[in-house]
Chains A and B, each alone.
Chain A
């Protein structure tokens, strides 16, 4: 079946953000360069308030409340706008719509013809085929986050920005969601903001630590993601990341 849950297009671009950002005359970062590699997962860690979410919002083209001077460049030089899907810590489901209509929210908002068949296939793909007519309030936190994942996939965008999407889930659900998301987002350019070293150690092709002085690249295990949570190299990477984070001054 030619359902495009995987690689949306060949020659997928990566994206580079370069520049300075200040908020109310306070510099949040200067001469920063963020590189998000094509078709891979880049994990971004760092203390709260250091500007991770600001980076994400800049890439998503959202209001940041501050001033950015610099460039956001894609490898194919087409603008990023309209090619980004976003998923946050809150599921952001519309409580008045059922699961099916929530997955189709983008089409509803754009006034374009909804692809009901594809929505149903994606809902089945995240394991919620029996719940498609339910409202979000009837679902658990993990199920709601799976709906949000299906909704992001429905948008079928080459760039996917994830802002701590699994942070509010219990440990078991989180591990399952990481596996599901990694499988379904394969072939897309993903930037994941996370506070969880083990998450970065499992999922990252690239791991970046953001500090007040900029971005530092952290070595990743040689085994490609998604890595088993209990593999020695995953655990070693997790420990190394943790000590790296602990050695950073507070933002």
Chain B
């Protein structure tokens, strides 16, 4: 309750500052529209924005599920296979030096203007945070607990599934929360580089036609969705790990 109140207050404050800036500077609406103008545009263009939002949301959700699944599988694989740790880990770390954004044009070239290239962008951008956070969690299991499991006659598989995995759930949760914020970035970058639908496309189009109010309206829908996804993932991971402080 208290938290909802805090959020409402900071929202009103931010909108107030925005409106003040618009008034104080007298900036034209095609450079920076005021909050009311953006709201009007949102209401007027609601069907259009929703049509594009659907596409982006689908890209993000599909990318999130596949990327998270791939990341988790990779982490488990790294945990059980010394060869994977030796040969895959350096490649994974190096791949992080390549900015995913730079890959967007090539992905569009390979996969086309449809949603596939955007889904792959989202997957690429969330794969590493999920894999590395989860792997860290799996690896950092209390050595005393592992010793105990050994004296109890536990197999490697059962130690992984019944000790390391549950102990790593808080770390997996942090990875997934990061992924919830990153996935929309990936999808929108993909849309900017080449697409005919989605919020990223709509923002670029509105920007090009000096409909800055529509651009902001689309941006807010995107931000709202990201916050909602983050909250949902946060709540789900908290429920999974209600035992950890």
Chain A positions within 8 Å of B, measured between CB atoms, are 57, 60-62, 82, 84-86, 88, 90, 92, 94-96, 105-106, 108-111, 135, 137, 155
Q: Is B166 an interface residue (CB 8 A)?
A: yes
**Choice from B154, B155, B163, B241 contacting A94 with Cβ under 8 Å:** B163
Count of inter-chain pairs, beta carbons less than 8 A: 63
Q: Is B152 an interface residue (CB 8 A)?
A: yes
Given contacts A95-B243, A96-B241, A137-B245, contact A110 B147 (CB under 8 A): no
Closest to A84 in B: B151
B159 contact set on A, CB distance < 8 A:
109
A155 contact set on B, CB distance < 8 A:
152
User: Contact size class for B?
Assistant: 20 to 34
Q: Is B85 an interface residue (CB 8 A)?
A: no
Contact B147 A86 (CB under 8 A): yes
Contact B244 A60 (CB under 8 A): no
Q: Is B162 an interface residue (CB 8 A)?
A: yes
Minimum Cβ distance to chain A for residue B162 (Å): 6
Chain B positions within 8 Å of A, measured between CB atoms, are 142, 144-145, 147-155, 158-159, 162-163, 166-167, 169, 241, 243-245
25 residue pairs from A and B, CB less than 8 Å apart:
A62-B151, A82-B153, A86-B151, A88-B148, A92-B145, A92-B148, A94-B145, A95-B243, A95-B244, A96-B167, A96-B243, A105-B148, A105-B149, A105-B152, A106-B152, A109-B152, A109-B158, A109-B159, A109-B162, A109-B163, A110-B153, A111-B155, A137-B243, A137-B245, A155-B152
B162 contact set on A, CB distance < 8 A:
108-109
Contact A109 B153 (CB under 8 A): yes
A88 contact set on B, CB distance < 8 A:
144, 148
B142 contact set on A, CB distance < 8 A:
90, 92
Cα A242 to Cα B145 in complex, Å, equals: 33
Contact B166 A110 (CB under 8 A): no
Contact A92 B144 (CB under 8 A): yes
Contact A96 B166 (CB under 8 A): yes
Cα A60 to Cα B153 in complex, Å, equals: 11
A86 contact set on B, CB distance < 8 A:
147-148, 151
Contact B151 A60 (CB under 8 A): yes
